Amino acid sequence: MATIDRPAIAAGITADVVRLDGSCDLDRAAIGGKAWSVNAMRALGLPVPPAVALTTGCCAAFYAADGTVPDDVWEQVRRGVAFLEEETGRSFGSTERPLLVSVRSGAPVSMPGMMDTVLNLGLTDATAAALVAESGDEAHVADTRERFVRQYQETVAEGPVPDDAWAQLRAAVAAVFGSWQSARAQTYRRTQGIADDLGTAVTVQAMVFGNLDDHSGTGVLFSRDPSTGEPAPFGEWLARGQGEDVVSGRVTPQPLAMLAEQMPAVHADLMKATATLEESGRDVQDIEFTVEGGRLWLLQTRSAKRTAAAAVRIAVDLVDEGVLTPAEAVAQVSAEQLQAVVEAASGAGVGTPVATGESACPGLAYGVAVADPDEAEERAEAGEDVILVRSATSPDDLHGMLAANGIVTEYGGATSHAAVVSREIARPCVVGCGAGTVESLVGREITVDGATGQVWEGRIESVAAEENPYLARLQAWAAEAE
């Protein structure tokens, strides 16, 4: 491997591989937010695929070993995989009931989409043939392998994928640790004030397959609306898909109501789990889930990224529901979020919008439409107002998203990468405007109205938002605390 930065990471945390069976007592600093949530959900008795975590101490060991997975860490990984085999009744790299796994990053502080993930790992010529023989579903195995090869080559290494499951796993673990120092991850940490020395943990988890059959799919669910704060579950569902399909924004999923129509019992189970997780977390939750053959599995939960308006309403509602105290609610909303709600405005466009999609983050943004993130950054640095317009955004587009006043995408929904990141960096955003939007908008001066999901020609007039009763109550509590 080429020379690699060797940052000081995870001081005092040992290099261990731990079982996430509900009994792990390590904190987020050691096992990362993703693994911590897996362990917590198992402790609550919720349906979660078996998993193990490589601590952030293993990340430190990786960098100390010049970007390689040390042998002592690797032996622990092999023992961790043995635990997954026991839990699932499958065998990794074997032709008898092969086990496939995912390899996911998990920083102590949430960094959505900024580091690498590899799904469906463990597919080789022999294990693929064994899975076809076991299931009789050649199309599913072929689709799963195509997904794996594409992601492995994008994330781990170009060229042929090793026809050895253990070699794939070791390389994938190294790639995920290495992504802590990727340009996009460093940019994100710098803009969000996240320390460089935290490191990332790695979660290795048994795969469940949303692309299995017509009774399978994947989705992302918020326990409350992350854009408005409305106290009702909000999410999206993609039948016969895997999680990366939804998060990447490459396809536009359906509203969660479609899951209720297609599989009402699964939807009911999901709603119960959502209530349990929000009660346990004492905050709005962002939940990733998969349905495999009609059975619900939860993959991750975390406190949700939300708009400023949603943050204010959620904080007040949680006080009314007896979850938070007024002082805790005030502490949950930043001064910047309060100011954004004070200054909130919507647009007063005239005529017909030039594009219409789904609201992802409210607010008005004006600029010239630019399709290339590098160009957006360069023109913004020169003092020009720009709007980034993309088919779908990826983590590699972060610098362009930060430079832009607003964001528009052709594909993806309100739980896609563009939507989640736009809410965190407070950029008005409209997603899912449809094919041809980029071509039609590039070079034009436009205004993005993130509240209505509309894009207008030129600069439109803003209209002050109505008085926000939630803001008034939160400000009153803040004044009482002074």
CATH of the domain at 300: 3.30.470.20
Angle at 275 between CA 273 and CA 281, to 5 degrees: 100
CATH number at residue 392: 3.50.30.10
Q: Domain end: 190, 207, 224, which one?
A: 207
Q: At what angle do helices 71-88 and 56-64 cross, to 10 degrees?
A: 140
Contact 391, 467 (CB under 8 A): no
Same structural domain for residues 322 and 376?
A: no
Sign of CA dihedral 457, 463, 466, 467: positive
Q: What's at 424, amino acid-wise?
A: E
φ, ψ of residue 310 in degrees (nearest 5): -65, -40
Q: Give the span between the Cα atoms of 102 and 205, in whole angstroms.
A: 5
pLDDT digits (tens, 9 = 90+) for 93-150: 999 999 999 999 999 998 988 999 999 999 999 999 999 999 999 999 999 999 999 9
Domain count, the chain: 4
Q: Domain end: 306, 329, 354, which one?
A: 306
Output 162-166 pairs: Cβ under 8 A, ≥24 positions apart: 163/124, 163/125, 163/126, 164/93, 164/124, 165/92, 165/93, 165/98, 165/121, 165/122, 165/123, 165/124, 165/127, 166/78, 166/92, 166/93
Q: Domain end: 251, 283, 306, which one?
A: 306
Same structural domain for residues 321 and 357?
A: no
pLDDT value, residue 3: 41
Same structural domain for residues 180 and 74?
A: yes
Contact 400, 374 (CB under 8 A): yes
Same structural domain for residues 422 and 446?
A: yes
Q: Give the span between the Cα atoms of 460 and 19, in whole angstroms.
A: 55
Q: What residues in the chain have per-residue pLDDT under 50?
A: 1-3
pLDDT value, residue 6: 58
Other Cβ atoms within 10 Å of 359 Cβ, number: 21
Q: Give the span between the Cα atoms of 168 and 152, in whole angstroms.
A: 9
Range of the domain at 358: 345-463
Same structural domain for residues 63 and 170?
A: yes
Query: What element of type H or E holds 347?
Result: strand 345-348
Same structural domain for residues 256 and 323?
A: no
Same structural domain for residues 194 and 229?
A: no
pLDDT value, residue 237: 96
pLDDT value, residue 372: 97
Sign of CA dihedral 417, 419, 424, 428: positive
pLDDT value, residue 7: 61
Prediction pTM value: 0.89
pLDDT digits (tens, 9 = 90+) for 33-46: 999 999 999 999 99
pLDDT value, residue 424: 87
Same structural domain for residues 360 and 301?
A: no
pLDDT value, residue 1: 36
Same structural domain for residues 357 and 432?
A: yes
Q: Give the span between the Cα atoms of 264 and 171, in whole angstroms.
A: 40
Same structural domain for residues 5 and 94?
A: yes
Output 38-46 pairs: Cβ under 8 A, ≥24 positions apart: 38/203, 38/205, 38/299, 38/300, 40/280, 40/301, 41/277, 41/298, 41/301, 44/276, 44/277, 44/280, 46/273, 46/276, 46/277, 46/298
Q: At what angle do helices 335-342 and 308-320 cross, to 10 degrees?
A: 110
pLDDT value, residue 350: 66
Q: What is the DSSP letter of 52?
A: E
Same structural domain for residues 417 and 433?
A: yes
Same structural domain for residues 325 and 281?
A: no
